[in-house]
Amino acid sequence: MAGQDSKDRAKSDLQQEVSQLALQVRRWDFLWAAGLAAGACVLFALLGGVSLWRTCLILLVFFAGLAMRYFILARQEPVHPAQVSMHNKLATYEKLRSVLNALPEPVVMMARDGTIEVANPATAAFFGSANEGRHISTLLRSDAVRSAVKKAREAGVSVSADFKIAGPPERFCRAFVTQLDEESMADLGQSRTVLAITDLTQEQRIDEMRSDFIANASHELRTPLASMLGFIETLKGHAKDDPAVQDKFLGIMENQAKRMQRLVEDLMSLSKIELDEFQPVSDKIDLGSVINDVKDSLAPLEEKYQGKIEIKVNPDNPVHLAGDRDQLIQLVQNLSDNALKYGGDKPTVQITLGAGDLPTLSDGMTRSGDTPAVIASRSNIVVEDLVWFQVRDHGAGLDRDVLPRLTERFYRVDVETSKLRGGTGLGLAIVKHIVNRHKGGLIVESGEGQGSVFSCIFPKFQPSTDENLQL
């Protein structure tokens, strides 16, 4: 429906443009004819001895006939050649749109000055907005793409170029540029440049995931495996007849095996999240419902650490975002789990849900991460269109130097404490990638003796309509 409306508008605009041109041509014809007739009558009056009043009468009769002809033609449709030209251009234009709209990957057609004349729905979906009428540089700022476009225009050949689109998440793409000559674009009057984009992010992610998984797994599993092999050798040797030593070593081996199991599960989870990171999310998720579900699921952990989770969620004012519910549950769960584990004795964890700007915390806290304004600008929205939740603990706090490193893989502030609490060093790395997939930002605030606050900020849910994607 929206596509047909766009075609009708284009047709109406072109018809109006042709009509205006025709009227302008007729107006100039009228003025030139009137001027020539007046000059001829004056010349005849001077040379032929015709009286002035007769000359004026002849001029009035001629002007009346000329004016009548002008006003009659002004109310008629443009002449047939103009109509044929108009319909030919519309037919070519609509064929181009139909072909480009059917393609699953972003494709744009540019004029000589770089202005985007046609952009298919895949382009709007890929870049987040419609782009017709804008210069290509507002869409892509890659030097490699600009060089490819210039070479294609000058040499008249097809050129490809690899480039990146800054994230989060970062995208790896390849551009194919082709120049259409004036002969093939005769119906539209001049040559055009076609730019097609192929998203190679998934292939790149798979390669990185494979190499990272092998490197991380081999590094992290080496120590517990060596430890278990040492215990097995001991149990097969002098401890094989000592029940007390056997019980002790078997308990340690069980803990090491469980740690390896958690590590493998976290590695697999992180790899899956990284692979899906560039995939858009569209489901409408009630963030308050997610937080309530996580609180219920962490009841055994509350009991284990003799802690308490307090939530500040207003059920009468639901907060929605576009997201993946399972990943958002994992996000809230990881942060809450960390807060219970490292929040001190009998920890109290506060989870607050809100919208707009973040509340100001204590002056003694150090902040790491993008501001809400920066996060909003990445999604081309205002701060008031953000939603967020905060997980706060009242533990010892973190040193300002470690804040930027918290989301690194296997980074631990206190290695021994982390291992004793069952940590793998991957929880906050998982948090970072989930936040990136949801086009959000993570802010960490902490101060000595004041605990830590982890704030996850996202664009609020915006209903999508076909009109936003159709051309």
**pTM score, whole prediction:** 0.55
- Which amino acid is located at 104 in the chain? P
Question: Which pLDDT score, from 0 to 100, does residue 220 have?
Answer: 66
At residue 468, the pLDDT reads: 45
* pLDDT recorded at residue 1: 44
Q: What is the structure's pLDDT at 335? A: 92
d(CA 261, CA 250): 16
Q: What is the mean pLDDT of each run of 10 residues along the chain (471 residues)?
A: 51 62 68 68 64 68 66 55 58 69 82 83 77 80 87 85 80 87 55 85 74 68 78 79 82 80 78 78 90 89 88 87 92 90 87 88 78 89 92 86 82 66 75 91 87 92 57 38
Q: What is residue 50's predicted lDDT score, i.e. its pLDDT?
A: 59
